[in-house]
């Protein structure tokens, strides 16, 4: 199953780049210049593979990674120093610097090349729109499993908010299921302290999703880390939240509370956004949270199809 998912993701990157964009090769050093272009699925190949001065490359503004592990870069630099860069970087002409190129995929390799004091690096130059640049950068990092859950979620958010992707279109573009995209984007609704725990690896994405419907997610997150609870135990903790008083005595809580919490989680899972339910006597309130008008349109469309 894991291999099948990886193959599907690989096809997603090939579809974005064109087959020639994901095959490493070697080429004589040459400066960028106007040539007869080859069409690709995302943008146009400008003279295919070449080598380019490392100094002519600049980090991409659509890089989804926020943190680069320095120890990992140092290890990669040692490998690059001994064997060179085995896979070319994907770049596009820099929109603001005429003599430079913006890195779309391969910034870790570029950083390692700088540390290893390499003068040149193999690159593939493509004409890419901003939307294509973000899509390709996101998929390339997903393939390498280099992103934290929140970096992945923020990449999805940018494609939805900045480039008007629906979650279904986005899922196809990056080779993931729509439910996976929706579940990852839900993490962006977490309080900042919990996001920091996820970024540091203290909490997993599964733990974080379980805490989304909690009334006191930060307090429960501390309990989860202190007690080293697994995801299933975290879900049970959220379901029983507030049923025990600080002095240890149980307060009177309807048995239905656990069912309501489970229903809220099911709705959150199904809609891909946070849903909260507040019982009020015989009735109650159901609140659906959304992060953008595009997300609201997607929710309304899916609710309308279900009616």
Kindly report the number of other CB atoms within 10 A of residue 178's CB atom.
17
Give the H or E element holding residue 16: helix 2-17
- Strands 120-127 and 57-58, by their bridges, are unpaired
In 217-248, which positions are buried (b, 16+ CB within 10 angstroms) versus exposed (e)? beebbeebeeeebebeebbebbbebeeeeeee
Tokens matching residue 261: 């919490």
H and E: helices and strands count for the chain: 13, 8
What phi, psi does 122 have (nearest 5°)? -75, 135
Contact (Cβ atoms closer than 8 angstroms) between residue 20 and residue 40? yes
Cβ partners under 8 Å of residue 112, min gap 6: 73, 76, 77, 79, 80, 85
Catalytic residues: 107
Strand partners, 125: 91
What phi, psi does 102 have (nearest 5°)? -95, 130
- Identify the burial level of 287 via C-beta atoms within 10 angstroms of its C-beta, where 0-12 means exposed, 13-18 middle and 19 or more buried: exposed
Contact (Cβ atoms closer than 8 angstroms) between residue 109 and residue 125? no
Contact (Cβ atoms closer than 8 angstroms) between residue 134 and residue 65? no
Q: Nearest 5°: CA angle at 156, between 155 and 161?
A: 100
Alpha-carbon span 70 to 217, nearest angstrom? 31
């Amino acid at each position: 199953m894991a291999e099948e998912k990886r193959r599907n993701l690989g096809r997603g990157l090939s579809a974005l780049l064109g087959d020639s964009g994901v095959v490493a090769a070697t080429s004589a050093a040459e400066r960028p210049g106007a040539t007869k272009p080859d069409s690709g699925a995302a943008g146009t190949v400008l003279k295919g593979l070449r080598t380019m001065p490392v100094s002519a490359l600049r980090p991409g503004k659509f890089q989804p990674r926020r943190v680069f592990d320095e120890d990992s870069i140092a290890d990669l630099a040692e490998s690059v120093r001994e064997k060179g860069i085995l896979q070319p970087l994907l770049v596009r002409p820099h929109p603001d610097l005429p003599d430079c190129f913006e890195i779309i995929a391969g910034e870790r390799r570029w950083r390692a090349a700088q540390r290893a004091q390499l003068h040149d690096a193999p690159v593939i130059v493509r004409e890419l729109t901003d939307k294509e640049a973000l899509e390709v950068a996101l998929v390339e990092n997903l393939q390498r499993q280099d992103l934290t859950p929140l970096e992945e979620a923020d990449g999805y958010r940018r494609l939805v908010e900045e480039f008007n992707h629906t979650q279904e279109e986005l899922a196809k573009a990056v080779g993931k299921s729509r439910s996976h995209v929706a579940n990852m984007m839900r993490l962006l609704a977490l309080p900042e302290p919990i996001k920091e725990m996820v970024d540091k690896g203290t909490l997993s994405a599964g733990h974080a999703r379980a805490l989304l419907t909690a009334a006191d997610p930060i307090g429960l997150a501390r309990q989860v880390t202190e007690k080293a609870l697994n995801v299933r135990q975290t879900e049970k903790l959220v379901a029983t939240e507030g049923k025990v008083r600080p002095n240890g005595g149980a307060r009177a809580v309807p048995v239905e509370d656990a069912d309501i919490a489970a229903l809220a989680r099911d709705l959150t899972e199904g809609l891909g956004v946070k849903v909260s339910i507040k019982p009020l006597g015989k009735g109650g309130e159901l609140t659906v949270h959304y992060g953008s008008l595009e997300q609201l349109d997607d929710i309304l469309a899916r609710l309308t199809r279900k009616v």
